Amino acid sequence: MMATESQLPIDDALLGKFLAGEASLTETDRVRRWLTNPANQREFDRFSRIWTTAEALGRPASINTDAAWQRVRSKMNGAAESPANPVIRPLDSAGPKRSRWVVYSRMAAMLTLALLAGVSVWRLTRSTESLQQTPLLSAATTTTTRRLTLPDGSEVLLNRNSRLTYPATFADSSRDIALTGEAFFEVAHDARHPFRVRAGRAVVRVLGTSFNVRALGDSIQVAVRTGRVQLSTPRQAVVLMPNQQATYLDPVDTIRRTVPLDANRLAYQTGRLSFTNTSLAEVVQTLREVYGTTIRLDNPAVGRCRLTADFGAESIDVVLAVVSETLSLTIKREGDAYVLTGAGCGV
């Protein structure tokens, strides 16, 4: 009987690429099919826990376990030939060869674990020293946007109520920053140093492109203007092309399918809003996100009205005045909230 893809083995190197967000679409699909096997899922969870701890410290050094095994075997053979180190063999119905193989296997496994522990300690020390030598900078906004230039020359527009954390100088191997909130990036191209934005459990990886990341609450949305961007999580990865966007939902650990870019999502960066036969319910939702303002409709019928209009850098008061005039609605203020009232529109 032919084995299914979920039964075929997958090596640690591919799992490492998958968790690092560097697997191709074909490799990612292969891993996801492999994970449909419960036993594979348990093994992946174990591997992921180890990887998650290591990933926070940087890329792991390669370990040549074959060479380590050869050194163990050489030392054991030398010890066996020494009169001062007599070899005591346990009784084994399978014979001396099988007994020695069991010992060798266990010794190799123990050496591999020791090497991994040593590498982890070394990487932890190196990471700590790096953090001590390279101070972290932080840029934050409240009610207005802010532009800043990163150490590599990349340009960032930080939206309202957002925070960006980045090193004073980038590392030799990569350019890593952390984001809470929303920002538009125009990344300086550098193929040798990938640019990574970490937002919660998601990582956005690029070489040189322009894109937007919105990390609010339990969702992370990535929208691409130019170039290619990879959105990866502990279990998934997707590559976005120009004018595409995707959303990662943290509670269910799922990336929603790629959809065409809604240009209005970038209104804080472009200064433009455009609606074409759009329901007022959708218009209001967009205005809430763009202006960070509370807007309500007094009844569902109002939300069914449709609007076609373009706006530049107008204030929310001007935009709502145009909307109400166009759709014959009335604007009321209730504290800091705007309320649109009217007879509404039919289906």
Closest to 276 measured CA to CA, from 310, 252, 243: 310
pLDDT of residue 78: 53
Mean local confidence (pLDDT), 141-167: 94
The CATH number assigned to the domain with range 271-341 reads 3.55.50.30
* pLDDT exceeds cutoff 70 at 70: no
CATH class of 136-261: mainly beta
pLDDT digits (tens, 9 = 90+) for 173-187: 889 999 999 999 999
Q: Give the integer Cα–Cα distance in Å for 149 and 154.
A: 6
In b/e form, how buried is each residue of 131-145, taking b as 16+ CB within 10 angstroms?
eeeeeeeebebeeee
| Percentage of the chain exceeding pLDDT 90 | 40
Closest to 231 measured CA to CA, from 251, 252, 218, 249: 249
Q: Give the integer Cα–Cα distance in Å for 39 and 37.
A: 6
Closest to 187 measured CA to CA, from 230, 222, 226: 226
pLDDT of residue 285: 93
Kindly report whether the global pTM for this prediction surpasses the value 0.85. no
Sign for the pseudo-dihedral over CA of 68, 74, 78, 80? positive
Q: Which of 43-57, 76-90, 241-255, 326-340 has the lowest mean pLDDT?
A: 76-90
pLDDT of residue 84: 45
Q: Which of 22-31, 77-86, 280-289, 311-320 has the lowest mean pLDDT?
A: 77-86
